[in-house]
Amino acid sequence: MTSSFELPLRPQAAPAVVADHLIKRFGELEVLKGVSLSVAEGTVTSIIGASGSGKSTLLRCMNLLERPDRGELAIADEAIRFARNPQGDITGLDRRQLQRLRAKVAMVFQQFNLWPHLSGLGNVIEAPMRVKGLSRKQATALGEHYLERVGMADKRDAYPAFLSGGQQQRVAIARALAMEPRLLLFDEPTSALDPERVNEVLGVIRGLADEGRTMLLVTHEMHFAKEVSDQLVYLDQGCIAAEGTPQAVFDDPRCRHFVAPAA
Ligand code: ADP
Ligand code: MG
């Protein structure tokens, strides 16, 4: 006889990233109004919300491309050491810690942001060589592995200008993977693609989710977000208006109007 006590208990995974009451202002405009969010290791969180609600800013704060004005942030079990003034406003960062932690978070952008003067492989091996100090040979082996992983091995020598949007984005994903990050951030990775190219990129991201990679994803692909995410966050004017399982958020009256077309 089996009782629930005999089921293997999944240990509570430590979060890969924790944001606590993040506030971010651009001049007078408060774009994030105290956002708290944590992404458990091995899980996928998607952020949805209208244009201008602060999704990109939140993602960029999570890897410190933007410096928040208030709040706490921890990446890979390590609290960020912010310098603060007596009022508690963040005034600076510890550069060395920043460099170290940035290497643990990789980001994929809407516009791919590949280096135009480097081949597919060149794009993928650059950061492992510069940031992680790998030799060209080591980085090339790693790069080939991840280009293969995204189905782009045959385009390793092609320059971005000769690749479709979907192919460029897959190279960008390989570039992110080659850093072997603890956390992958995606900011609308399919929004700049022709409709017929969207699925090839979503397929790669779905595969990464199935592998158990830790991901934080901003997307307008509602069906995909629902299917792939462990946690869904609905951001509305800089505040988390609803969060929970995809089903719970889809059913939440506060965001039903937003997700209605996909529900
Ligand atoms: P989303 O990704 O949800 O569309 P963003 O995070 O890009 O939203 O932007 C949220 C708000 O912050 C918008 O009003 C936008 O104009 C503003 N904003 C974003 N980045 C900057 C910036 N660097 N300087 C000034 N305002 C900004
Ligand atoms: Mg955005």
CATH number of the domain bearing residue 154: 3.40.50.300
Let me know if residue 32 belongs to a domain: no
User: Ligand 1 centre from 117 Cα, in Å?
Assistant: 29
Q: How far apart are CA 32 and CA 58, in angstroms?
A: 7
Alpha-carbon torsion (165, 170, 174, 180), positive or negative: positive
Residue 219 Cβ < 6 Å to ligand 1: no
What's the pLDDT at 13?
Answer: 63
Position 205 confidence tier, pLDDT thresholds 50, 70, 90? very high
DSSP 81: -
Q: Is 26 left (phi over 0), alpha (psi -120 to 50) or beta?
A: beta
Residue 53 Cβ < 6 Å to ligand 1: yes
Q: Are strands 239-244 and 78-79 parallel, antiparallel or unpaired?
A: unpaired
Computed over every residue of the chain, the mean pLDDT equals 92
Q: Give every CB contact of residue 55 below 8 A, 6+ residues apart in sequence.
A: 47, 48, 49, 187, 218, 235
Residue 191 Cβ < 6 Å to ligand 1: no
Three-state SS at 141: helix
- In Å, how far are 80, 101, 243 from 93, measured between CA atoms? 8, 12, 30
Give pLDDT tens digits for 158-196: 999 999 999 999 999 999 999 999 999 999 999 999 999
Q: Dig out the tokens for 263 from the structure.
A: 């529900």
User: Ligand 1 centre from 91 Cα, in Å?
Assistant: 20
Q: Dig out the tokens for 104 from the structure.
A: 């643990």
> Domain range spanning residue 148?
41-64+94-259
- Ligand number, closest to the Cα atom of 235: 1
Let me know if residue 247 belongs to a domain: yes
Residue 28 Cβ < 6 Å to ligand 1: no
Let me know if residue 127 belongs to a domain: yes
Let me know if residue 80 belongs to a domain: no
Q: How far apart are CA 213 and CA 207, in angstroms?
A: 9
Give pLDDT tens digits for 31-55: 999 999 999 999 999 999 999 999 9
User: Ligand 1 centre from 258 Cα, in Å?
Assistant: 19
What's the pLDDT at 250?
Answer: 92
Let me know if residue 22 belongs to a domain: no
Q: How far apart are CA 64 and CA 202, in angstroms?
A: 26
Residue 26 Cβ < 6 Å to ligand 1: yes
Arithmetic mean of pLDDT, 148-156: 97
Q: Dig out the tokens for 109 from the structure.
A: 């952008």
What's the pLDDT at 12?
Answer: 61
Query: From the alpha carbon of 57, which atom of ligand 1 is closest?
Result: 6
Residue 57 Cβ < 6 Å to ligand 1: yes
Q: Give the chain's domain count.
A: 1
- Which of 1-5, 15-19, 54-58, 83-87 has the weakest average pLDDT? 1-5
User: Ligand 1 centre from 105 Cα, in Å?
Assistant: 21
Instruction: Indicate the residue type of 203.
Output: G
Closest CA to 105 of 73, 143, 152, 137: 73
Let me know if residue 206 belongs to a domain: yes
Residue closest via CA to ligand 1's atom 24 equals: 26
Let me know if residue 111 belongs to a domain: yes
Let me know if residue 6 belongs to a domain: no
Position 140 confidence tier, pLDDT thresholds 50, 70, 90? very high
Three-state SS at 93: strand
